[in-house]
């Protein structure tokens, strides 16, 4: 069976769309930590690492517009997961902190059984082949982006050091708060 590039791209986009739907459904069923790599889960996961942070620093680290971040924070605050208080050093700045229920929510992880069963339709051999294909596609795209001079992270991340320091900031990216690094 011969498949052309357009058909492969169509299948890849369809898979991407279905993964997005699956993630959204999973998020609704499992609360804010349905995904620690997007939305409210991403914020709680970061606050788990740094229990108090300014809203501006949070916006910079997560690369989220302040208005969008404000909406996510309002939802988390209404749910009782965080508190927002005025900074004592800069009255124009807000500090974000986890509440006890926020800490408990941040400790929750999506059920591993669900993510493991996602690939049950493939044999172990097919899973290994699929992983190989994905690795090759990722490396190919990364090399194209490198050749084009595209940064692997947004420019702000290289110069942002804030109170976390360069090591703390790099640890966040290693834990999934930015592009996956290989």
> Does residue 46 lie within any of the structural domains?
yes
CATH code: domain of residue 92: 1.10.10.10
Residues 69 and 62: beta-carbon distance below 8 Å:
yes
DSSP E strands in 1-66: the ranges are: 52-54
Angle between helices 66-78 and 55-62 (to 10 degrees): 120
pLDDT of residue 29: 53
Residues 175 and 49: beta-carbon distance below 8 Å:
yes
Residues 89 and 52: beta-carbon distance below 8 Å:
no
> Does residue 78 lie within any of the structural domains?
yes
pLDDT of residue 93: 85
Residues 73 and 172: beta-carbon distance below 8 Å:
no
> Does residue 102 lie within any of the structural domains?
yes
Identify the DSSP state of 31: G
Question: What is the residue-level pLDDT of the chain in tens, covering all 182 positions?
Answer: 566 888 888 888 888 888 777 766 665 555 555 555 557 888 888 888 888 899 888 888 888 888 889 999 999 999 999 999 988 888 888 899 999 988 888 887 554 445 556 788 999 999 999 989 988 988 888 888 888 777 655 544 444 445 555 555 555 555 555 444 44
Q: How many domains does the chain have?
A: 1
Residues 122 and 128: beta-carbon distance below 8 Å:
no
Residue whose tokens read 């692997």 = 152
pLDDT of residue 123: 92
> Does residue 72 lie within any of the structural domains?
yes
Q: Quote the domain boundaries for residue 90.
A: 23-109
Predicted model pTM: 0.50
pLDDT of residue 61: 86
> Does residue 122 lie within any of the structural domains?
no
> Does residue 52 lie within any of the structural domains?
yes
């Amino acid at each position: 069976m011969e498949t052309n590039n357009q058909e492969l791209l169509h299948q890849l986009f369809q898979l991407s769309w279905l993964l997005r739907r699956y993630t959204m459904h999973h998020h609704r069923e499992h609360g804010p930590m349905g995904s620690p790599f997007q939305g409210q889960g991403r914020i709680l996961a970061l606050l788990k690492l740094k229990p108090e942070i300014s809203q501006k620093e949070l916006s910079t680290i997560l690369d989220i517009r302040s208005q969008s971040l404000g909406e996510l924070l309002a939802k988390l605050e209404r749910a009782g997961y965080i508190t927002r208080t005025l900074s004592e050093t800069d009255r124009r700045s807000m500090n974000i902190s986890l509440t006890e229920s926020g800490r408990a929510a941040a400790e929750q992880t999506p059920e591993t059984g669900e993510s493991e069963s996602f690939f049950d339709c493939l044999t172990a051999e097919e899973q290994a082949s699929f992983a190989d294909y994905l690795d090759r596609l990722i490396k190919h795209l990364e090399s194209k982006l490198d050749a084009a001079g595209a940064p692997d992270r947004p420019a702000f991340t290289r110069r942002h050091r804030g109170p976390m320091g360069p090591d703390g900031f790099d640890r966040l990216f290693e834990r999934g708060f930015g592009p996956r690094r290989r």
